Amino acid sequence: MTIFGLCIGSFLNVAIIRLPKNESINLPASHCPICLHPLKWYHNIPLFSWLFLRGKCAFCSGAISLQYPFVELSSALIYTLCYLRLENITQALLVASVFVLLLALSIIDLRYKAVPDALSLPALILAFCVGEPLVSLQNGLMLMGAFTLLRFLVSALAKKEVMGEADIIIAGIMGALLGIKLGLIAIYISAIIALVAFMIVRKKGYELPFIPFLALGLLFTWLFDTPILHIMELIYE
């Protein structure tokens, strides 16, 4: 699963760079973004090529972004954690694929303030297939409906759009993977993380995208669902 995750991460790096520019993810072949020289096959080995080249292009010695090893390593870790937690290869592949797509969406949102449907919609569909598909579909649609209503109300009060359609899709993924109760907790955790990040950044005129925080809240809640539910039971006893 770890090797598979590294390979998926390598593919996601291509999608992260090309999809926001409306470029094909198949053609042209992989090349250096600085000198545009086509890469050899051994320059594309996930993680190891970056380490072997010491983070520099083999042709122009230009710096290779840390995004590449970060995404590949994160993807490998996500697939490994999901398999260890679920011990069911089919479910682990589905859940891990959702999380790595959210990872790619988060980076694209941070870099380009864009959320390609080519990544968000497959993530939603995969989430609907986790566990009992009908239950996942029902929970996902319910949370999407609640988020849509929230978007309408908050936007009306603020007199401007304060949430994107992609946020609603992520809410659907939360409902499908976590159920309604944990899905709402994940949204709350996401808001807390976003608030802390906003207080740290405090850059005038800069708007923090919300999708990375929704993805973090979802991952945290999914990983620690049992202790979170236990804490909630203690609070509301």
Rounded Cα–Cα distance for residues 127 and 115 (Å): 17
pLDDT (tens digit, 9 = 90+) per residue, 50-95? 788 777 776 776 777 788 899 999 999 999 999 999 988 999 999 9
pLDDT recorded at residue 194: 86
Rounded Cα–Cα distance for residues 145 and 140 (Å): 9
Q: Spell out the residues 6+ positions from residue 102 whose beta carbon is closer than 8 angstroms to its own.
A: 123, 170, 173, 211, 214, 215, 218, 219
In the numeric block, which tokens belong to residue 85? 């937690």
pLDDT recorded at residue 206: 63
Q: Is the per-residue pLDDT at 125 higher than 90? A: yes
pLDDT recorded at residue 34: 67
pTM value is 0.89
> In 3-state terms, what secondary structure has residue 31?
strand
Average pLDDT over the chain, rounded to whole?
Answer: 85
> In 3-state terms, what secondary structure has residue 1?
coil
Q: Model confidence at 179, in pLDDT bands (50, 70, 90)? A: very high
Average of pLDDT values for 43-55? 77
